[in-house]
Amino acid sequence: MTFKTFFKYRFVVYVLAIGFAAYAVVWLLNNATRPADEGNFGGPILGLTPEQNRKFFLAKTFFEKKFTPQEGLGPLFNERSCAACHGDPDEVGGEGRDLSSTSIMNFARRVPNSEVAKKPLKEVIATLGKRDVDFFLTQGGPSLQRRSVTTEFPDLYPSEVQIDFEQIPIDAELQSNRHAQIIWGAGLIDNIADGDIINNALKEVQEHPDLAGRPISAIDRFTELPRASRFGWK
């Protein structure tokens, strides 16, 4: 390039140089602050912005935090942190292995005046719908709460105040012991593109129509737009 052509295009050269320098700074800022466990189980998914990473670690702190009665724990409860049920020490988001403390017992009964309530449970259990079942919502809900703050934090309450931990109501005909599943990788599953799920389903229909799965559409809670849904509970 002669001096004359450089002079003619010098602005282009400056703009390119400044653009490149700005890109390098952003790249460095992004990558110098990458957390060590990025992309690992229990770590943030790859490719988050620094702000998203900050939020991830903030949320992880809350996931591990043991709540106290002063912070709203109780009066009845099962565990003091999410991590107590979903993970072992040093392992956030794993499976709840101690079934006696990490599982949840859910119970319900048939609505007394529902048609199916008149028949033996065995005959109708497969056909029970939400309308036939009462989840004890006006009496603390369907999950057994095994622990009480007055028993475990006696110093915080006058001795005459005693809250008994809950027991399964005698009229709870339906009981279901729920296992605390691994929730590692939920972010990875959430990040599978809708298009990939739909394409896979189409491929399955062509290749193995008898085994093909169908994607279900659900409303995304944050964007309020429909998405291919991917988790167990809808």
Among the residue ranges 22-30, 40-48, 166-174, 180-188, the one whose residues contact ligand HEC (CB under 6 A) = 180-188
CA distances to 31, 60, 193 from 38, in Å? 11, 13, 20
Give, as ranges, the residues between 79 and 98 that touch ligand HEC (CB under 6 A): 79, 82, 84-86
Rule CB under 6 A: choose which of 66, 119, 178, 203 binds ligand HEC.
178
Q: Are 103 and 176 in contact (CB under 8 A)?
A: no
Give whichever of 81 and 114 is closer to ligand HEC, judged by the CB atom: 81
Binding test (CB under 6 A) with ligand HEC, winner from 45, 73, 76, 104: 104
CB of 143 to ligand HEC, least distance (A): 8
Maximum pairwise Cα distance, the chain: 97
Asked if 232 touches ligand HEC (CB under 6 A), the answer is yes
Select from 47, 100, 58, 60 the least CA-distant residue to 78.
100
Task: Output the DSSP codes for 77-144.
Answer: ES-SSHHHHS--TT-TT-----HHHH-EEEEEEE-TTSGGGGS-HHHHGGG--GGGEE--GGGT-SB-
**Rounded distance between C-alpha atoms, residue 108 and residue 147, angstroms:** 20
Select the span of 26-34, 102-110, 166-174, 218-226 touching ligand HEC (CB under 6 A): 102-110
What is the Cα–Cα distance from 53 to 39, expressed in whole angstroms? Answer: 11
Q: By CB under 6 A, is residue 183 in contact with ligand HEC?
A: yes
Of the residues 3, 11, 222, 233, which one makes contact with ligand HEC according to CB under 6 A: 233
Name the segment binding ligand HEC (CB under 6 A); options: 8-16, 17-25, 167-175, 179-187.
179-187
Q: Does 147 bind ligand HEC (CB under 6 A)?
A: no
- Confirm or reject binding of residue 180 to ligand HEC (CB under 6 A): yes
- Interface residue with ligand HEC among 87, 94, 102, 149 (CB under 6 A) is 102
Least distance to ligand HEC, CB of residue 108, Å: 12
> Which token pair is 226?
């429909």
Q: Which long-range contacts (CB under 8 A, 24 or more apart) does 191-200 make?
A: 191/45, 192/230, 194/227, 194/228, 197/228, 197/230, 198/228
Interface with ligand HEC: number of residues (CB under 6 A): 17
Rounded Cα gap, residues 171 and 71, in angstroms: 33
Q: How is residue 210 annotated by DSSP?
A: T
Q: Is 103 in the site for ligand HEC (CB under 6 A)?
A: yes
Q: Interface with ligand HEC by CB under 6 A: which residues?
A: 78-79, 82, 84-86, 102-104, 178-181, 183, 231-233
